[in-house]
Amino acid sequence: MAQINDNFIKIPATYLFSEIAKRVNQHKEANPEAPIIRMGIGDVSLPLPDAAVDALIKAAEEQRHAETFRGYGPEQGYAFLRDAIVANDFTANGLDIDADEIFVSDGAKSDTGNIGDIFSVNNRVAITDPSYPVYVDTNAMGGRAGEPNEQNVWSNLVYLPCNAENDFVPQLPTEKVDLIYLCYPNNPTGTTLTHEQLKVWVDYAKANNAIILFDAAYEAFITEENVPHSIYEIEGAREVALEFRSFSKTAGFTGTRCAYTVVPKTVMAFSENGEKVALNKLWNRRHSTKFNGTSYVVQRAAEATYSPEGKKQVKALIEFYTENARIIREALEKAGYTVYGGKNAPYVWAKAPEGMSSWEYFDYLLKEKNIVTTPGAGFGLSGEGFVRFSAFGSREATIEAMKRLEK
């Protein structure tokens, strides 16, 4: 008798963004003319930078000819891209990361979801609340989350509430944890940690033999001083932290797919019999067994984002979305909303009107204003009473949405 992984029965039947897409499609079917503005999932609206497209075309041409054709590449990524990543994202900022500590992939969603493969089911997992749903769902699938209650709070997860009362800064847990998911700039709240606040977590991880899984997918949106772009800016992080980065939101690769994970050779965890094991070795084994590498043409496109032209074009994209975030934040504030984020991140976290739940407000905005947001409750219990606005739309749509909210 074939048996399923029963953990899949325990998780909500649909992934958050699939549920939202379903509701939006129902609304669209019932109202085909509805002028819907999408500020839900953080999907970019501007096209790829020219430098990336030129590199894609050139690489595709290479694939046409026997002399330049490439088949399977190195699973960890081509040296040209790993070297460009190291030089531009780390060495240029005085950070010590080697090319063989970089693992190129098809997305930070896959990497943050798959990383659980190399960790024991017995680890105690801490997750900021609210958080990107992939962390909770994949730990639940892997059997580390225990049982959910009716509010979808899992018995074995340690939640680190982030709310206005603690200035969205997660406090150290009162019980010992082994794996800690941190995402900064934060999805969904758009808030950040200072160097000092992040150091508290690195120190905790060192003192408790814990590992930090640091999701830095939104690093390019940082505008303020004293906000770390990488966890490796914090002393000691090379011993306790993995970092996830993505070309999706920075260079518009949501549909093109490219990301990378940093696994320093100095990060160790323990086997059941207490032996120290390098995570780099395990992730390399996992990656080369379950993944055949990001396509050659896409890696060439990602490499091109580090060329002088590419960098300028990426900067322009980021500035465009950052301006959208400012427009959203200021318009919502003017309309009387309490808002957070949107300064170092492409997300604005807004309080729903008094007495309305996240989903009620989501439905109201969809049906009455034709605006798609993401209900805060979908990111965890502490997200209840909030909705998230994404700044990745066109300028026109962003301004129009804010006009609709003024009324």
Q: 109 vs 287, which CB is nearer to ligand MLT?
A: 109
Q: How far apart are CA 10 and CA 87, in angstroms?
A: 44
Q: 39 vs 177, which CB is nearer to ligand MLT?
A: 39
Shortest Å distance, C-beta 63 to ligand MLT: 28
Q: How far apart are CA 108 and CA 259, in angstroms?
A: 6
Neighbours of 353 (CB within 10 A): 12
- Apex 143 CA angle, 137 and 148, nearest 5: 60
Q: 40 vs 142, which CB is nearer to ligand MLT?
A: 40
**Residue of 187, 284, 370, 373 interacting with ligand MLT (CB under 6 A):** 187
**Residue of 41, 46, 53, 200 interacting with ligand MLT (CB under 6 A):** 41
Most distant CA pair in the chain, distance: 66
Closest listed residue to residue 238, CA positions, set 219, 261, 263: 263
Q: Which residue has the CB atom at the shortest distance from ligand MLT?
A: 42
Shortest Å distance, C-beta 61 to ligand MLT: 31
Interaction between residue 109 and ligand MLT (CB under 6 A) = yes
Shortest Å distance, C-beta 149 to ligand MLT: 24
DSSP secondary structure string for all residues of 107-162 = -HHHHHHHGGGGS-TT--EEEEES--HHHHHHHHHTT-S--B-TT--BTTEEEEE-
Shortest Å distance, C-beta 36 to ligand MLT: 17
**Residue of 42, 375, 378, 383 interacting with ligand MLT (CB under 6 A):** 42
Strand pairing partners for 278? 268
Q: Where are the alpha helices (DSSP H) in 291-389?
A: 296-304, 308-334, 358-369
Shortest Å distance, C-beta 268 to ligand MLT: 29
Interaction between residue 282 and ligand MLT (CB under 6 A) = no
Shortest Å distance, C-beta 142 to ligand MLT: 18
Given the rule CB under 6 A, which residues bind ligand MLT? 41-42, 109, 132, 187
